[in-house]
Amino acid sequence: MGELSLLSNGVNPVLLVVVPLALAFAVPLIGFVSKKIIKYIPVVAFLFNLIVALLLIPSVLKQPIVVKIGGFAPPFCINLVAGPIGILFSALIALAGLLVSIYALNYIREGPQEKYHILYLLLLTGATGVVLTGDIFNLFVFFEILCISSYALVAYLGNKAGIESSIKYLIQGSVGSSLLLLGIGLLYGQFGTLNMADIANQIHSASSPSIFVPMVLMITGLGVEAAIFPLNAWLPDAHSSAPSSISAILSGIAIEVGLYAVIRVLFTIFDASNFLMFFVFLGVLTLLIGEMCAFSQKNIKRMLAYSSIGQIGLIVFAFSIANTYGVTGGFFQLISHTLGKGLLFLAAGYMIYRSGSMDISTFEGMGKRMPLTSLFFTVGAFSIVGLPPFIGFPSKFMIVRAALSTGELLFTILIGIVLLGTVIEGAYFFRVVQVIYFKKGNGNPERKKAPISGLISMFIFVILILVIGVYPNLITKILNSAASELLNRIDYIRSVLG
């Protein structure tokens, strides 16, 4: 294997996909030996992935690693491209996967647990595959692995709400994936290749109407999972009906991965700089609609779900600015949303478990009953709103700086609207925090804690939010090279095709 010598310290990025996938199908076999150790398998898998991803970061920053599966040279093989974006996302997926699986050790007690852990592993395998693959049909396959396991996990509890939202999600998602496959078919018909870099290389040789149709089809198909307005009708139902650990993954990873696919298709394959203005408005519209719907919610999980739509709008806006600051800010906001929203859903999970209802008004006096969980929830809320010293502050600050650095009046006005959205966001999050701390509950004020595994995983989220919030320089290097990978498509094409 000649290419293995290129890999620093012998770590192959393909392990990031293979190990969780193999462990997912090993779960039933291990279940024959002992039912008790099944729930530790996701923890092991994502700990492994996190270590591999972190080991790969130094060499990836120098040069993207292209894995040629089967030994054929691109464009003839299915290849994995572990560039800065791919490794950044894999590390994020592994981190969130690890923390949420630690949380789930005690949280998932009912239902078919074996199936939960299989689907959970498959969901995150699909997500890792999407961000690493360099082949457009392979992207579709991994995307379907991600989607199908999330449809099934939304219905995990088997109650009326879960099944209803799962079938809504499934119908919209399968229409989206048909559109995506149609777009891929059109691209293959024109260029005779499925390699993303090869298509990107030839894209300007085709006439623009014949490019426009597959682009619209693919963006629409991927946009369903990325929850870009008007394709996000499924999201509030699905995110609020799933178990809280799954809501955290759906909100923190699944829609982000959908968004990754959208920007990869837009920037790298189609080089669609002419259409970015459209996405600027789409992003602002998504943001405003999400925040305004979230403001009127009484159900905590629906509120968080609508807030995710708002955050996705902000990220789409940041990417569509398409200068270095904007794209870096977009990636930063992605990380900040994963950490913040993950923490919020996990904390809300145990608060719902204790109060027995998702209604915000039943959280009165929660600050006394569950002091630690309430504190963690508050940290997550403040971080999403963008208060210093949490991670949400530097990420939002970077987006504002990006919009102002364009020097155009339009972007100045739009960033004003975005900040207005942040004010609405602040209003509804502070309302929840006020209910938690400053209203006296009429129930018994006995103190109950979340189980220790839940507290540990939430505590690590809090530490990360604080540390990156105070020292954003820790991750600026990889964010900058991720941004330059997205903006310099010629370098991407050259590094894959050689």
Partner 1 sequence: MTLYLMAFFLFLVGLYGAVTKKDIIKIILSIGIMGYSVNLFLILIAYRTGAIYPILSKIEDLGIPMVDPLPQALVLTSIVIELGITALLAALAIRIYEKYKTFDITKVRRLKG
Residue 294 or residue 478: which is nearer to partner 1 going by CB? 294
Residue 1's Cβ-count burial label (10 Å; 0-12, 13-18, 19+) is: exposed
Taking the complex as a whole, the smallest distance from the CB of residue 358 to partner 1 amounts, in Å, to 12
Taking the complex as a whole, the smallest distance from the CB of residue 169 to partner 1 amounts, in Å, to 10
* Region 406-465 residues binding partner 1, contact defined as CB under 8 A: none
Exposure class string for 430-456: b at 16+ Cβ within 10 A, else e? eebbebbbeeebeeeeeeeebeebbbe
Which residue in the set 85, 87, 170, 249 belongs to the binding site for partner 1 (CB under 8 A)? Answer: 170
Is 181 a binding residue for partner 1 by CB under 8 A? The answer is yes
Is 185 a binding residue for partner 1 by CB under 8 A? The answer is yes
Q: Report H helices in 227-370.
A: 235-241, 244-249, 255-263, 276-295, 300-321, 324-355, 366-369
Is 241 a binding residue for partner 1 by CB under 8 A? The answer is yes
**229 DSSP 8-state letter:** T
Is 57 a binding residue for partner 1 by CB under 8 A? The answer is no
Region of 168-176, 358-366, 453-461, 476-484 interacting with partner 1 (CB under 8 A): 168-176
Residue 8's Cβ-count burial label (10 Å; 0-12, 13-18, 19+) is: middle
Residue 148 or residue 288: which is nearer to partner 1 going by CB? 148
Region of 86-94, 113-121, 293-301, 380-388 interacting with partner 1 (CB under 8 A): 293-301
Taking the complex as a whole, the smallest distance from the CB of residue 321 to partner 1 amounts, in Å, to 32
Which residue in the set 14, 114, 115, 188 belongs to the binding site for partner 1 (CB under 8 A)? Answer: 188
Q: What is the dihedral of CA 296, 340, 413, 470, to 10 degrees?
A: 140
Taking the complex as a whole, the smallest distance from the CB of residue 399 to partner 1 amounts, in Å, to 29
The position carrying tokens 């392979």 is 138
Taking the complex as a whole, the smallest distance from the CB of residue 192 to partner 1 amounts, in Å, to 8
Residue 151 or residue 393: which is nearer to partner 1 going by CB? 151
Region of 85-93, 172-180, 243-251, 335-343 interacting with partner 1 (CB under 8 A): 172-180
Residue 92 or residue 304: which is nearer to partner 1 going by CB? 304
Taking the complex as a whole, the smallest distance from the CB of residue 164 to partner 1 amounts, in Å, to 5
Spatial contact of 233 and 168, defined as CB atoms under 8 Å apart: yes
Give the per-residue contact string, 126-165, with partner 1 (x = CB under 8 A; - = no): -----------x---x--x---x--xx--x--x-xx-xxx
Residue 40 or residue 188: which is nearer to partner 1 going by CB? 188
Exposure class string for 305-330: b at 16+ Cβ within 10 A, else e? bbbbbbbbbbbbbbbbbbeebbbbbb
Is 235 a binding residue for partner 1 by CB under 8 A? The answer is no
**14 DSSP 8-state letter:** T
Taking the complex as a whole, the smallest distance from the CB of residue 449 to partner 1 amounts, in Å, to 31
Q: What proportions of the chain, in percent to the nearest 5, are helix, strand and coil?
A: 80, 5, 15
Q: How far is CA 336 from CA 57, 141, 151, 461, in A?
A: 19, 28, 25, 11
Size of the site for partner 1 (CB under 8 A): 35
Spatial contact of 224 and 278, defined as CB atoms under 8 Å apart: no
Q: Report H helices in 111-243.
A: 113-132, 136-154, 160-191, 196-202, 208-226, 235-241
**Gap between the Cα atoms of 93 and 167, Å rounded:** 26
Residue 236 or residue 349: which is nearer to partner 1 going by CB? 236
The position carrying tokens 């609020």 is 240
Which residue in the set 30, 182, 276, 456 belongs to the binding site for partner 1 (CB under 8 A)? Answer: 182
Which residue in the set 117, 302, 396, 489 belongs to the binding site for partner 1 (CB under 8 A)? Answer: 302
Residue 230's Cβ-count burial label (10 Å; 0-12, 13-18, 19+) is: exposed
For the chain, state the CA radius of gyration: 22
User: Residues in the site for partner 1, rule: CB under 8 A?
Assistant: 137, 141, 144, 148, 151-152, 155, 158, 160-161, 163-167, 170-171, 174-175, 177-178, 181-182, 185, 188-189, 194, 236-237, 240-241, 293, 296-297, 302
